[in-house]
């Protein structure tokens, strides 16, 4: 076949046209992928990191581990939903998760799209989080089990806690018996350890519940003293209750829903502060305050041993605030309604 200059020109134009079309498709693909990667990155980061360190306050560990488990499962679901698309990205852009340098290369490759995203860095963050969701369940479950064992079976650790929190610690550990195994349902070592711990937790809880019951049975409300060196016990108890009801950390504590049940004056005035001449400038009044809040059981109140400190050198109901001493529990029906 005879090739003329005319046919060569036509062929060259066709090649250029095809190249231009391919280039346009490539730009379109880059823009589409940049938007998808950015959107997926926002979804992943919105879930927040599911890794967790235990050892929080009693009552806070179970909800924190529950939240960690929910975040882990949400991340795993997202990874499953986008697995096919990510495989396509691996092939399309030669992504190698074992070689982090691909992120910088992709940043440069997507730069002409002018989308404003660091697409390579965002993809790397997505893949790192998805990879962690595959490897983290065992570690997260074991941390949860360690917390369970420490506060649910370690008797010496539990006895070191304040008596008010001993059974609460074990009850929280009992919740972890359900939360921990769900973090790694396919790992036999986790499931077997839970079964071993379950009986220990239940046995220790029964022991401490009986000790707590005996303590509560032995406690009675202490009525106010009969007389004071300044003012009447009844008037001072009422003044202390008024002050506590108006205080942000006490009666006006909406977060804890604190309610002042009763106040009794348990001792005479004492010198709380002196000036350089040794003269009293403030007095303290010992009181017991019974309260309920969002953490107390329905049949139990907390009793705080306080010293109400006066504003000045007079033994009266003008209080500056309390010094807080010991706190313990009492059956609520033993607290007078006043």
Contacts of 301 (CB under 8 A, 6+ apart): 261, 290, 291, 292, 329, 330, 331, 332, 335
Q: How much is the pTM?
A: 0.74
**Helix/strand/coil for 303:** strand
In a domain, 222, yes or no: no
Whether residues 104 and 163 share a domain: the answer is: yes
Q: Rounded to whole angstroms, how far apart are CA atoms 185 and 176?
A: 14
Helices 119-152 & 163-183, crossing angle to 10 degrees? 130
Residue-wise pLDDT for 244-292, tens only, equals 999 999 999 999 999 999 999 999 999 999 999 999 999 999 999 999 9
Of 98-112, 201-215, 218-232, 253-267, which gets the smallest average pLDDT?
Answer: 98-112
174 and 237 belong to one structural domain: no
Q: Name the residue range of residue 108's domain.
A: 5-211
Contact 280, 271 (CB under 8 A): yes
Which residue among 211, 241, 256 closes a domain?
211
Q: What is the DSSP letter of 2?
A: P
CB atoms within 10 A of CB 50: 22
Which tens digit of pLDDT belongs to each residue from 73-127?
A: 999 999 999 999 999 998 898 888 788 788 999 999 998 888 888 999 999 999 9
Same-domain status, 237 and 200: no
**Alpha-carbon distances, residue 166 vs 66, 175, 204, 219, 327 (angstroms):** 21, 15, 10, 18, 14
For residues 74 and 225, give the distance between their C-alpha atoms in angstroms, rounded to a whole number.
Answer: 60
């Amino acid at each position: 076949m005879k090739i003329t200059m005319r046919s060569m020109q036509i062929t060259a134009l066709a090649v250029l046209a095809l190249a231009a079309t391919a280039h346009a498709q490539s730009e379109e693909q880059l823009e589409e992928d940049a938007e998808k990667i950015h959107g997926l990155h926002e979804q992943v980061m919105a879930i927040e990191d599911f890794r967790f360190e235990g050892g929080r306050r009693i009552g806070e560990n179970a909800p924190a581990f529950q939240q960690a488990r929910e975040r882990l499962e949400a991340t795993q679901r997202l990874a499953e939903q986008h697995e096919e698309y990510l495989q396509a990205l691996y092939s399309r852009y030669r992504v190698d998760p074992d070689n982090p340098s691909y992120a910088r290369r992709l940043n440069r490759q997507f730069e002409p799209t002018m989308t404003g995203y660091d697409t390579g860095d965002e993809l790397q963050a997505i893949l790192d989080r998805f990879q962690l969701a595959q490897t983290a369940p065992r570690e997260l479950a074991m941390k949860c089990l360690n917390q369970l064992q420490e506060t649910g079976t370690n008797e010496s650790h539990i006895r070191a806690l304040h008596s008010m929190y001993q059974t609460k610690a074990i009850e929280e550990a009992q919740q972890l018996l359900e939360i921990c195994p769900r973090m790694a349902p396919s790992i036999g070592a986790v499931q077997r350890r839970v079964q071993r711990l379950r009986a220990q937790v239940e046995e220790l809880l029964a022991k401490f519940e009986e000790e707590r019951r005996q303590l509560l049975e032995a406690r009675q409300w202490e009525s106010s003293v009969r007389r004071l060196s300044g003012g009447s016990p009844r008037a001072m108890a009422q003044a202390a209750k008024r002050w506590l009801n108006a205080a942000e950390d006490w009666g006006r504590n909406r977060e804890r829903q604190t309610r002042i049940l009763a106040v009794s004056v348990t001792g005479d005035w004492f010198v709380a502060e002196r000036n350089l001449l040794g003269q009293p400038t403030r007095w303290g009044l010992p009181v017991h305050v019974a309260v309920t809040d969002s953490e107390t059981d329905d049949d139990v109140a907390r009793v705080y041993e306080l010293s109400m400190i006066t504003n000045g050198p007079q033994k009266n109901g003008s209080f500056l605030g309390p010094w807080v001493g010991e706190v313990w529990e009492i059956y609520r029906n033993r607290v007078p309604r006043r």
